[in-house]
Structure 1
């Protein structure tokens, strides 16, 4: 309307555009008066927020920007700073990254003796098997990897991967190790990573191989080895 007022009457344009003449004149008055006090304050705040964010190499989020402004004598609340950052498309960088949990602790605190006294190499094959659970980053997310090795030869005997860490993950790796050895080493001491996986605490050193493989059946009967924590399996993490 302001552009075409030399060619058309304000009354006619207001009728065609379905607006009021008073509304148009009020807008013209505000336009000629320049930015309002609130708009100027907002523009000033945006500039300060942008300066602090830039000085932090685009790392600071609203909480730290608010703290920096307070040190400079500009006291504003965090919500106002957050709104300013959103308005300008500014984002902070969080140092926290997702870390999959590879140890699910049991609820009990009692312990059993360390059968190997942290000596994983007993001088014989199939004397001690050690295992650990870690995670791998893939394009589709994280997957958990369970590896079982012989304490003497350090050879990988079995492994399994899954997007869940539970008793099935450990059991799959254990069954692969059993298949590779093609035997039933009932006297092997199996040392698993500390933690309760899927409701069964694999944090134990067990001398009865077949009873470990029957763990799920024992769980169905209501028996649990939860909480049998021993020394951490440091050798499997080297």
Structure 2
């Protein structure tokens, strides 16, 4: 049997250790490669989105609300209201005697194709004040405005004793037949303004004032 020299055995052992060491290095490298994880960013996560901004609530102005403005309950009259629309405050709050006379006259005018529309009737003091302020702005002075709009303290509209009738065919009919029902035009400059004068059916309507400033009732 041939014996291996000692130097050869030493070289063989060294070679084996190098192989083992190389394998350990490779295993360590593979372990490090697959065990490494990319850290997640702390500033953004695609799975969690920031909340959407809440929609701003519309203000009262956006909704077009104008609190405090007179409405139907103050005597504002919608289009197309007649003397028979008793559900409308401007009509319902008229003096009962005046309203009765209007109904009678309207029925008498109906065969002639005439209908009594109400442009204005009863008004709240607040509504009357607003109309007066608007008249002052329109006519430029309180004195000129007084020829068309009375104060809340003196206006027969506020007391329910006056009605403004439309259209022109109705006022024309009333100018000819209104006295028969006690309905009289009071102011020459307002052919639409009618009030009840109960004795007009016997004596006729009283002489008209040129405008409200000539009416003693407006001097209070």
Same fold (TM over 0.5): no
Larger helix proportion, structure 1 or 2?
A: 2
Is the radius of gyration larger for structure 1 or structure 2? 2
Identify the TM-score tier after normalising by the shorter chain. Answer: under 0.3
Larger strand proportion, structure 1 or 2?
A: 1
What is the TM-score when the length of structure 1 is the normalising length? 0.24
